[in-house]
Chains A and B, each alone.
Chain A
């Protein structure tokens, strides 16, 4: 299963939309940096396996939707170990 990592705001770039078009069943999505603006309830996302870096969401004052799991860096490392390949959507 693939781990997709998005670091851009869904409102200022196409990274999240591009990622979701390439999202397969069972894949995981991790929102980091400005990508956490996609974790609000305002943004349509898959129901399962969506993660958000807690420090980035707290820094920006983003209220994370209920079905998204907030994680720390060590869990991020674990996700990287559990998934292959890992795709960075940084543009």
Chain B
């Protein structure tokens, strides 16, 4: 039997400015619901998805709730690009997602290269 292909979802966009952040998380949840749990790397402006959000003033649904649902679907490790956090003045010690372990990735190039397929959002 062939080995199951490993999949990485690359989340590169901030929430609310466009729909990519939402679509990325929805794709991850859909994969996980089909028992094909991908790894998820937040990189570039995607790391802003980890911040606490209050989008009521925009009439939008809170995207961080989708992110917080990931552990319930089996996505229990979330990878964060260390350089992206540093460039944006974000302290990884001050970020958390209940039920998920946040792991810093120092070399995203080598990290991404490990996967069979990569979905970019």
Verify A54–B57 contact, CB threshold 8 A: yes
Given A59-B53, A62-B51: A12 in contact with B44 (beta carbons within 8 A): yes
Residues on B with C-beta less than 8 A from A12 are 13-14, 44-45
Rounded to whole angstroms, the CA-CA distance of A57 and B14 in the bound complex is 12
Residues on B with C-beta less than 8 A from A60 are 14-16, 48, 51, 53, 55
Q: Least Cβ distance of B55 to chain A in Å?
A: 4
Rounded to whole angstroms, the CA-CA distance of A54 and B45 in the bound complex is 20
Q: Would you call B109 an interface residue if the criterion is a C-beta within 8 Å of the partner chain's C-beta atoms?
A: no
Interface residues on A, range: 10 to 19
Rounded to whole angstroms, the CA-CA distance of A36 and B38 in the bound complex is 31
Q: Least Cβ distance of B8 to chain A in Å?
A: 20
Q: Which residue of chain B has its CB nearest to the CB of A72?
A: B57
Residues on B with C-beta less than 8 A from A61 are 48, 51-54
List residues 34-91 of chain A with CB under 8 A from any CB of chain B.
34, 37, 40-42, 54-56, 58-62
Verify B55–A42 contact, CB threshold 8 A: no
Partner of A37, one of B45, B52, B54: B45
Given A37-B45, A37-B88, A42-B89: A58 in contact with B14 (beta carbons within 8 A): no
Rounded to whole angstroms, the CA-CA distance of A75 and B88 in the bound complex is 28
Rounded to whole angstroms, the CA-CA distance of A7 and B16 in the bound complex is 12
Verify A9–B54 contact, CB threshold 8 A: no
Rounded to whole angstroms, the CA-CA distance of A2 and B87 in the bound complex is 30
Verify B14–A59 contact, CB threshold 8 A: no
What is the 8 Å Cβ interface bit string for chain B, positions 8-21, against chain A (1 contact, 0 not)? 00000111110000
Given A42-B88, A60-B16: A11 in contact with B54 (beta carbons within 8 A): no
Rounded to whole angstroms, the CA-CA distance of A11 and B47 in the bound complex is 11
Rounded to whole angstroms, the CA-CA distance of A9 and B44 in the bound complex is 10
| B interface residues with partner A (beta carbon < 8 Å) | 13-17, 44-45, 48, 51-58, 60, 87-89
| A interface residues with partner B (beta carbon < 8 Å) | 7-9, 11-12, 33-34, 37, 40-42, 54-56, 58-62
